[in-house]
Amino acid sequence: MAIEGLEKAFTQWGIEHAEKQACWQFTNCPANIYLRCPAFTGHAGRRCWLMAGSFSGKNPYCIHSKKLKDCTECSFYKEVKNTT
């Protein structure tokens, strides 16, 4: 019972389960890109838009977000937002 409560709280806080895909897995990002990506190096694979995308406050590093107006158009962003 307590574990279920912690899982729910962690999910609400943005701490995901290991079995969920990270952005670089979902988008099939090439290793030579994602290994240097702030989302990968900062362990933010499920919240990549905050570190490597349009919500990072810097120029987006993400090769996928550079093709879009912002991360809200990204299929991974939409997938994560629909599951949280």
More confident residue, 3 or 42: 42
pTM for the predicted model, two decimal places: 0.71
Distance CA 34, CA 24 (A): 6
Total domain count, the chain: 1
The verdict on residue 62 lying in a domain is yes
Question: What share of the chain in percent tops pLDDT 70?
Answer: 76
Which one has a higher pLDDT value, 8 or 58?
58
DSSP 4-71: HHHHHHHHHHT---TTSPPHHHHTT--HHHHTT-HHHHTT-TTSHHHHTSTTSSS----TTGGGSSSG
Establish if 10 belongs to a structural domain: no
**Residue 8 predicted with pLDDT over 80:** no
Predicted confidence at residue 18, as pLDDT, reads: 45
Look up residue 77 and give its two tokens: 């962003």
Q: Would you say residue 3 lies in a domain?
A: no
Domain that holds residue 36: 18-83
Report the pLDDT value the prediction gives residue 13, as an integer from 0 to 100.
55
Domain membership flag for residue 8? no
In a domain, 59, yes or no: yes
- Tokens matching residue 65: 């977000």
